[in-house]
Amino acid sequence: MALKVELKPHERIIIGACVVTNTDQRARLLIDGDRIPILREKDILTPETADTPARLVYLAVQLMYLSPDPMAHHPTYFSLVREILSATPSAWPFIEGINNNILNGDLYHALKEAKKLIGHEEQLLESARQLPNSGAPDRQSA
């Protein structure tokens, strides 16, 4: 069964090892193939946009997904996982999901789990921003 993908004007998509860029009009593609990595532009991270620990994990999984030799990226991935777990133990359920998908060879679903990890990280950062600054003196009382 073919995958139907609709591209917005100038949207890019990775199909296998190729980057396809749409023209100035909407386009509909039917992609037929077995186990070909496909990533829409909105799901692609670059080293420049991978600016948090969870995004770096996503980037490592993305590289595995797109690579003909996913195991070449395992050392980087597992190093990042150790770092994120030491700083954020609450990330374990997401890491476990990513790991299980990697072990099963389902790197597309590992990417989806990595996206959930990014969401978890964003929630933690937002919670931290909303905490009162307990260590600093109150400006009004000074």
62 class by beta-carbon count within 10 Å (0-12 exposed, 13-18 middle, 19+ buried): buried
Q: What count of other Cβ atoms lies within 10 Å of the Cβ of residue 90? A: 11
Tokens linked to 68: 């003909």
Q: What is the pLDDT of residue 141?
A: 47
d(C-alpha 65, C-alpha 109), whole Å: 10
> pTM for this one?
0.86
All residue ranges of the chain with pLDDT < 50 are 141-142
Tokens linked to 3: 């995958």
Tokens linked to 45: 């991270």
